Each structure stands twice: as C-alpha cells, then as structure tokens.
C-alpha cells in the first residue's frame, strides 16, 4: 500500500516529492471498449495521472437509481488507469459543469421548486447524500491507501463562481470523509476576484483553473495559499464549440509554451482536456448569458488527443515540453489512418407524426401547459397537442428550446429559443401538435436547473390554453420504427420530408471507426445499430459525426436518421476523416 499527502511545498507519494501530471478523460464521453486505448496514450504523452468528472444525472436518470454498467462503470475505468500504472483524480461534483447537460445535476431533482441548487438547503443535501452513498464505495475501494490509483478527490467545482455557502462545502467534506475517503481533498476555482476564497475551506488544498498567463495565475494562487503544492486543476488548452459558431482552435506551440512555464515553476497540472470525447445522444449542455447557446455533439475541445483518439500537433508539442522536465516513454501513438469512405442511400422512411404511438403514451393535463418535467421526461423530444376552435396568435412565455408547430399534420413554422421567438400565427383551428426539442440544459451560471418545454402561459389570441396532452418520445428503440417505414426503392436520389425517421444499411468487415457526413440534411439525430450518435445540424460548425469502432460489427449494420425538417438528398457519406468545421480566422 502507498500513501499520498499534501506537503509543505510538494505532493508526497510515499513521503517523496511527486508532481502530478494529469490529463482529463471523461469515461462517460468515451466508448468503454476504448478506455484502455485513451489511457495508454495519456501515459505515452508523459502523463502519470488521469482525471475524470462523475456525472450524477447520467448515473441517476431517475430518483433512487444509480447505474454503473457499460459506459458508466467508473470502477472499471479506474481499474484500467491502475493497470496502465497511472494515478487517478476523481471530481464528483455534485456539480461538474463540463459542458454537460445541466452541469451533471439531475433534472428530476428540481421538479420540487423548493429544492435548492448548490446550497445547504435540506432537500438538495438529502439528494446529494444519496448520490454520494451510491458513488463512494467504488472510489473508496480504489484509493491509493488501499492499493488503488485514486490520489485526490475534488469538493464541488469552481464553486466560487457560483456562491460562498461554507456550510454546504463543509457538508460535502464531512460526507466524503464519513464515507471512507482518506486521500487529500481539494477545491478548484478561477484565480480572479474572491473566487478562490469563496469556493474553498481552510482544510482543502486550493487549486486554480486557467489556460494562459500561467506565471501570473500561479502567483495569485500562491497569494491565497502560502504553503502547499501549486496546481492548475484545469489547464485549458482548447475550448468547446456551440452550434452556429466556428470550430475553436488554440495554437499548439503557444499552449505548449504556457505548459512549459507552468512546469518550470514547479507546479502540478491537469490538462483539460487531454481527450474530450463525444456528447453522445442528448447529453450536451448549453450556456445562456443572455443568448441560449447549445453545445455541439463533438467534445473534441481541440485537445491533444482528438475526439476519435488520435494524437494531434498539440499532443506532440506537449510531449516535447513534458520531456524537458520528466522522462517520457519511447513509444509514440500512431496517427489516424484513413477510414472507410463511400455513400449509402436511405431505403425506407416513416413520418414521425404517424408513429407517435410507437414512441410513448400521452399524458393529459388540465391547466396551464405542463413542462417536460411534469411528464417526467428529462431529455430529447416531446410532443404537445391540443385541439383549437379557431386560428390566431399562438404564444408562450418562452420555448425551451425549439418548437416545430403543426396544424392538422401540416407544418406551420418553428420557434427558436436562441432567436427569442415566442409567437406564431395559426391560420385556422384544428389539431395543434408541437414537437419540442430540449437542446441541452444550461450547465453554468444561474439558469442551472431550469425546466424545459413550452413555458406557461401558453395562449391563443391572449386566452390561456388549459387542456394539453404531452407525449414524451422514447427514441432508444428507434429501430422498431422500421416495420412502419415505406420503401424508397426505385425512386432515385430523392430527399425525405421531416420530421421523419429514415433507414439505410451498410456493410463492414468488422469494428472500425467511421465518420458520418450528412450534407444536404438539415437537423436531427443519427443512430447506428440503435446507438444515438448525437445531434447534427446544417448550421455547423460540425460536419461529421464520429462512429466509434465498437459500435460497428462485421456484416450488415443499420443507420437510422431522425430528420426534423427535410433533406435535399437521400444519400449520406462515410468520409475518410472527421470534419469539425472551419476555424475562426
């Protein structure tokens, strides 16, 4: 067994000074069959530690649940870190930000409006306690003091940017210690204003988060913490992308120079991200600082290891810097080979509104328009419906986040939250159906925990509509819609109308990475063998969706496409390499 401690100036591993050279890999953003590969490549860059967040909402999609299978097997991930001879840092929040849906907080928690958010409010603390009781055994059993890789655990996450409830932070400290944690605990905050002090406690090691001006930021951290090791707990070497913007890149040599300054100062580091991975399904978060900005499917982050797990120029620049200060392995990871390319045409399609009964049952509400929380539906799509006696101006307080409006099955228009749209003219009465897309919950700031759907009052010519059905759509079994799809064979290269689900088959020799390009398609989600790859959108910047090799098997594979508006073609492309869009010039 080993020991890990915070010394007067250094981290101490078995009593000897130890520099933490860590890289962030989120197990929940990477296919589990690829974890070992990504961890191995972290060591080859010269790192000795892997850091990960823990997404509460992913592990606990419903109250009382705690899932640990497949992509959520944190214990297996930590075991693979240990097998690679590396240490681990765990950051369980309960708030993680991470550009992840709701910052990792479960949406069901806030169905009760009295429950606090990131405070010592009793309802919130009770839920946090249950989460940590379920989580901690996998971490406690893998502490370095018990022969495992875990050397540190973080309390909350950049809390000083949100609040300063010391009782809340103390509760978290007492909670993890009571659960058996004996490794050092730390906080992390931006080195600006009062954030470092607001977000920490005297017994916690204070660390900083930054991506530039390393010497200045470390000096600020030292002013707040006269003794103990210096650590940048998030060295931002890239950035995330939002729909409708450019693909963010940072200069590899400039980022490497900052890393060199940091290491030369004697500080420890956690590179955020070392490997970003993917916001599969409906897991992406969003930001709202006056304008709602959902995060794209790729979480490539311009990290040293790309979304699909290959070294970039930044990887080799960082490796060279680390080699100036520490030994690095001689082995070098291979660069990306060309993936299988070619086109495939969809062969069958079914209008979404025709198969709603296969995707879920409606719930009836008498009164103001319900939220999706009222229907206990926390991600993806819902269909609101009601019958109108006449036309008029259909309006609401807010749409969260995108609403396609249909009257007797015919499209009337779209309301977009990011455009501030809240009203549309209806030409007549009839069956009103509104397909509402939750495009990702806010993951940072004061709008964390907000509800989704059509936000009341929802009115027609100023009179509130008080009778609604809401149907949550379950797309986990999208392949079951194929039996209802109409064949497109013999029609040539024609596009499909939306909203619809279309199907195509493609052959493969075995598991292999592929990159799906949907030029001519507008907006929706793509699925391979039932797995939700995530969202695509013609507004970009992202142009391809990553298909991890383990999702593809030898022989025939099924592609399903949920297209919300319509396509100019029935073809999709598999291309040789990813395309995440143009950089800012």
Catalytic positions, written as ranges:
158, 234
| Strand ranges across the sheet with 463-464 | 423-426, 392-395, 459-460, 463-464
- Residue 529 near residue 553 (C-beta atoms within 8 A): yes
CA gap 306, 290 in Å, rounded: 31
Tell me the backbone φ, ψ of residue 114, rounded to 5 degrees: -85, -10
Candidates 502, 575, 486, 579; CA nearest to 540 is: 579
Query: Coil, helix or strand for 99?
Result: coil
Helical (H) or strand (E) element with 174 = helix 166-178
CA gap 377, 352 in Å, rounded: 18
Helical (H) or strand (E) element with 516 = strand 514-517
Task: Point out which residues pair with 91 in neighbouring strands.
Answer: 53
- Residue 516 near residue 393 (C-beta atoms within 8 A): no
Distance of alpha carbon 171 from the chain centroid: 27
Query: Coil, helix or strand for 541?
Result: coil
Give the pairing of strands 150-154 and 185-189: parallel
Candidates 443, 11, 76, 36; CA nearest to 270 is: 11
Burial (Cβ within 10 Å: 0-12, 13-18, ≥19) of residue 223: exposed
CA gap 143, 75 in Å, rounded: 11
Dihedral in degrees, nearest 10, Cα atoms 53, 315, 188, 224: 170
CA gap 99, 286 in Å, rounded: 6
């Amino acid at each position: 067994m080993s020991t890990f401690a915070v010394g007067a100036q250094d981290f101490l591993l078995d009593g000897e000074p130890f520099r933490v050279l860590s890289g962030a890999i989120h197990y929940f953003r990477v296919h589990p069959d690829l974890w070992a590969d990504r961890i191995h490549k972290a060591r080859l860059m010269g790192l000795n530690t892997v850091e990960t967040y823990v997404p509460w909402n992913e592990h606990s999609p419903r109250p009382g649940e705690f899932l640990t299978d497949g992509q959520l097997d944190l214990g297996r991930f930590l075991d693979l870190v240990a097998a690679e001879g590396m240490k681990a840092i765990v950051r369980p929040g309960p708030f993680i930000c991470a550009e992840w849906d709701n910052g990792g907080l479960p949406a069901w928690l806030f169905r009760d409006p009295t429950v606090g958010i990131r405070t010592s409010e009793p309802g919130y603390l009770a839920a946090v306690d249950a989460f940590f009781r379920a989580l901690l055994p996998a971490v406690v059993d893998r502490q370095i003091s018990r022969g495992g890789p875990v050397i540190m655990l973080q309390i909350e996450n950049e809390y000083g940017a949100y609040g300063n409830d010391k009782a809340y932070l103390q509760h978290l400290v007492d909670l993890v210690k009571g659960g058996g944690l004996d490794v050092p605990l730390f906080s992390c905050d931006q080195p600006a204003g009062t954030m470092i002090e607001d977000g920490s406690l005297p017994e916690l090691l204070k660390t900083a988060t930054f991506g530039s001006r390393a010497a200045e930021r470390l000096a600020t951290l030292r002013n707040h913490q006269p003794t103990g090791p210096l650590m940048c707990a998030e060295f931002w070497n890239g950035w995330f992308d939002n729909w409708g913007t450019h693909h963010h890149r940072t200069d590899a040599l400039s980022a490497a120079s900052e890393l060199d300054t940091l290491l030369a100062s004697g500080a420890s580091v956690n590179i955020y991200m070392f490997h970003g991975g993917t916001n599969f399904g409906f897991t992406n978060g969003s930001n709202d600082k006056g304008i709602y900005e959902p995060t794209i499917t790729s979480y490539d982050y311009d990290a040293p290891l790309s979304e699909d797990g290959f070294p970039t120029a930044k990887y080799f620049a960082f490796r060279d810097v680390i080699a100036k200060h520490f030994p690095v392995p001689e082995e070098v990871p291979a660069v990306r080979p060309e993936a299988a390319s070619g086109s495939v045409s969809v062969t069958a399609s079914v209008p979404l509104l025709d198969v709603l009964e296969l995707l879920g049952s409606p719930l009836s509400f008498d009164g103001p328009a319900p939220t999706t929380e009222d229907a206990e539906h926390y991600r993806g799509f819902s269909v609101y419906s009601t019958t109108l006696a006449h036309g008029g101006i259909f309006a609401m307080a807010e749409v969260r986040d995108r609403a396609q409006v249909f009257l007797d099955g015919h499209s009337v228009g779209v309301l977009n939250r990011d455009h501030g749209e809240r009203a549309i003219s209806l030409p007549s009465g009839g069956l009103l159906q509104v397909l509402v897309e939750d495009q990702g919950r806010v993951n940072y700031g004061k709008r964390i925990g907000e509800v989704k759907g059509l936000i009341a009052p929802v009115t027609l010519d100023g009179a509130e509509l008080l009778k609604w059905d809401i149907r949550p759509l379950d797309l986990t079994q999208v392949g079951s819609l194929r039996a209802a799809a109409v064949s497109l064979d013999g029609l040539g290269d024609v596009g499909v109308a939306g909203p619809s689900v279309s199907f195509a088959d493609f052959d493969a020799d075995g598991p292999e990475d592929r990159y799906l390009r949907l030029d001519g398609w507008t907006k929706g989600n793509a699925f391979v063998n039932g797995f939700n790859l995530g969202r695509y959108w013609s507004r970009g910047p992202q142009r391809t969706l990553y298909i991890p090799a383990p999702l593809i098997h030898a022989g025939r594979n099924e592609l399903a496409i949920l297209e919300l508006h319509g396509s100019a073609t029935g073809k999709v492309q598999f291309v040789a390499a990813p395309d995440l869009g143009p950089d800012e010039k």
